[in-house]
Homo-oligomer: A and B are copies of this chain.
């Protein structure tokens, strides 16, 4: 953490026991003695071996609509290959073993159900305090389906947050090992690193060995909602043969992940058998992993997608744990040539139907979006999604505004991301410089998160979010007043800002100098601008004297 930054807990609205919730911010100490508070995602910090404290357990106990039960993992012995070996479920805190929870019979422990009943949950109140908005705004937006508070009852470590177009634009970071590289400990470190730089949610997209164990470690150490794509683990369970997938294997995987505490799941239920021919003439076919797996399954069996045929059953399952849907766009365009084509829009129509069906089961929903989209077609994507899906939060991957710059796709996609967020996308999935080329390492994760935080913030400013521009103004004032240390401390990435400044002018004296190495002292526009302002103030003084003296020109009679 930067020396001028501190995690501070502000007093929020009362929690279930009547004592005030304590809601975190990053407090930036400025050199003039004032402070500036920023939204924070970093969490209280954890010992990976122990996990984070279970903040929400008393809230869940007080609500009383869930109860512990003998989870699937304790019933089953290790029943898979190394790739899916379950290990011990580490749902414990300071040695106390914790059984998974689920809904009591006849109860609906989802934020959507409660919001519809008029209940402001502790999670909603907490999220509202972070946003600095009325808790009733969170409740009403969740009730209308226009926002979600992803919060699995088995993820007590979570610091709840809200995703919706009326709130701050959020950023997701993908982590996860692949068959080719990386380890469990590395993934936990990537998680911690991602939230340090501002990731609002993290998706664990592991596909190689130890999927279960990796996820367990990730969830226990995560202060932010965790998303997954259960299909990846299901495929590992059937030895990688898409044709061997079945509803039963998939269902078992979903239960396993619900019990672990995954907060939202990408489900590719919108890829229908009849959509596959629509992709035949595309430049880049199907580029979503989940989409291509399900399309392969549909063709192999010549049957309808089992995620679609079993969708109601899946809804009931997710409702029992308050897991949110992230309806996957399996047919998203993978090149600007394929943007907004028949395949993409046919799937979006299906996702709109599924949104309404999930809502009937009180399950929270967000809808995923592209991908690769030329800048002139970006707005149409969010407009159609918001219209067709009745305002359900949109969650897009970029989109990339051009295909020609591999190695810079965090930037090609930042262009599309800022634009689509300004037009109403609620959450942006980051893209790193390694996109299309390899698996992101620690530096790539940071670059991706910081890039997307600046997109999200640019969109918040453009949307006129009540508190967004305060941050820009605080930093710009520090810049104009040559408070270099404050300028660094207020930066999205203080470390990089200071390092780039210090490359040329490392001396401490340069931190208060009225110039930098860009222009040197003689040409510093800001310094000259101060001189101009002083001169102008002098002119104003003279002008006031003139008016005070009667406003007439005194002519010496001699």
Contact = CB atoms under 8 A, between A and B. Distances in A.
Interface of A: 178-181, 207-208, 232, 235, 240, 242, 276-277, 279-280, 283-289, 291-293, 295-296, 299-300, 334-337, 372, 374-376, 401-408, 410-412, 414-415, 418-419, 422, 433-439, 441, 450-451, 453-455, 457-459, 461-464, 469, 471-473, 475-477, 479-480, 487-488, 490-493, 496-497, 499-501, 503-505, 516-526, 528-533, 535-536, 539
Given A403-B476, A454-B402, A517 B180 contact: yes
Nearest to A451: B411
Nearest to A530: B285
A490 B500 CA distance: 31
Nearest to A484: B437
A294 to B, nearest CB: 10
A484 to B, nearest CB: 9
Contacts of A438: 500-501, 503-505, 516-518
Given A280-B536, A536-B276, A461 B402 contact: yes
A491 B404 contact: yes
- Taking the full assembly, how many copies of this chain does it contain? 2
B402 A178 contact: no
A419 B434 CA distance: 24
Nearest to A289: B525
Contact of A437 (B181, B287, B471, B518): B518
A185 B441 CA distance: 37
Nearest to A400: B458
Overall SS of chain A's interface: helix
B296 A436 contact: no
Given A292-B528, A401-B458, 5 more contacts: A401-B454, A402-B454, A405-B493, A415-B455, A436-B479
Nearest to A440: B518
Nearest to A537: B280
Contacts of A284: 476-477, 479-480, 526, 529
Contact of A415 (B296, B336, B418, B517): B418
Contact of A434 (B287, B435, B459, B518): B518
14 contacts: A178-B517, A178-B520, A179-B521, A181-B517, A286-B532, A289-B519, A296-B532, A334-B525, A374-B461, A375-B419, A376-B463, A407-B496, A410-B411, A437-B518
Given A299-B539, A336-B461, A376-B422, A285 B532 contact: yes
Nearest to A285: B529
B181 A532 contact: no
A525 B476 contact: no
Contacts of A279: 529, 532-533
